[in-house]
Amino acid sequence: MNTNETKNELRTEGKDTPNVPKAVINRLPRYYRYLRELLAKGIGRISSGDLARMMSVTASQIRQDLNCFGGFGQQGYGYNVEYLFGEISRILGAKEGFSCVIIGAGNLGCALANGSTFARRGVTPVALFDVSPAVVGTRVAGLPVYHVNTLEKFFQTHNVDIAVLTTPKPAAAEIGRRLSALQVGAVWNFTGVELNLNPDVILQNVHLGDSLMTLCYNLRLARNEID
């Protein structure tokens, strides 16, 4: 199968893809991680049963999830790990080559700029924005830090797909409005503020506090059982 065929197939399937349940889409990155691990171990094929045990889900869930995208498994053979990994990478846009700006050059913004999360997902940060005179004009992870007042000017001359929002809460709503007006493709929102964006803008919220609450719940539960 050459690349053009793959692209055409994808485009045809694309019309149906919005019907894929959001829960399945949210699970795909997890498949991506486990398959990458199998690849790294040199494992070429895996049954839905073995993959299920590895991921602590049912084999039937795995078959259902992967069927949503046309089903890559073969009866009696299982899944070809490399092919499945390639397909999921492509579906998730892992090699898409998006650009992003990070708004808020505090600890979290700098952690993201310095980390490997973007590079591993094919996203390239091009600049940071902040208001503090202590950081505006400096460089973080080799990237320029501009004043947030120059955001509109920057968008005029640069192609920005994604805005990563790590500002303090009070600044979030206004920046959200400006990003909507700038017709940014997507906002990755770490502020914990519910943003009211233009419906065309993809919004992905990260609520670290939710994860911490789940941890606390499980910890309390474990300790009650010990009592």
Task: Compute the distance between CA of residue 158 and CA of residue 152 in angstroms, rounded to an integer.
Answer: 10
Q: Is 212 in the site for a copy of itself (CB under 8 A)?
A: yes
- Residue count, binding to a copy of itself (CB under 8 A): 63
Q: Which of 117, 132, 138, 183 binds a copy of itself (CB under 8 A)?
A: 117
**Residue in the block written with tokens 């990237």:** 143
Q: How far is the CB of 127 from a copy of itself (least distance, A)?
A: 17
Task: Compute the distance between CA of residue 62 and CA of residue 43 in angstroms, rounded to an integer.
Answer: 18
Phi first, then psi, for residue 115 (nearest 5°) are -80, 180
Q: Is 21 in the site for a copy of itself (CB under 8 A)?
A: no
Q: Is 152 in the site for a copy of itself (CB under 8 A)?
A: no
Give the per-residue contact string, 62-81, with a copy of itself (x = CB under 8 A; - = no).
--------------------
Give 54's strand partners. Answer: none
Q: Is 129 in the site for a copy of itself (CB under 8 A)?
A: no
CA angle at 189 for the pair 144 and 114, rounded to the nearest 5°: 40
Specify the pairing of strand 45-46 against strand 79-80: antiparallel
Q: How far is the CB of 71 from a copy of itself (least distance, A)?
A: 18
Task: Compute the distance between CA of residue 17 and CA of residue 173 in angstroms, rounded to an integer.
Answer: 31
Q: Is 33 in the site for a copy of itself (CB under 8 A)?
A: yes
Q: Is 225 in the site for a copy of itself (CB under 8 A)?
A: yes
- Name which of 17 and 149 has its Cβ closer to a copy of itself: 17
Q: Contact, 197 vs 176, CB < 8 A?
A: yes
DSSP-derived letter for residue 1 is -
Task: Compute the distance between CA of residue 225 and CA of residue 216 in angstroms, rounded to an integer.
Answer: 14
Binding piece for a copy of itself, criterion CB under 8 A, among 65-73, 74-82, 143-151, 196-204 = 196-204
User: Which positions touch a copy of itself (CB under 8 A)?
Assistant: 10-11, 14, 17-18, 25-26, 28-30, 32-33, 37, 91-94, 96, 98, 106-108, 110-112, 114-115, 117-118, 120-123, 161-162, 185-186, 188, 194, 200, 202, 204, 206-225, 227
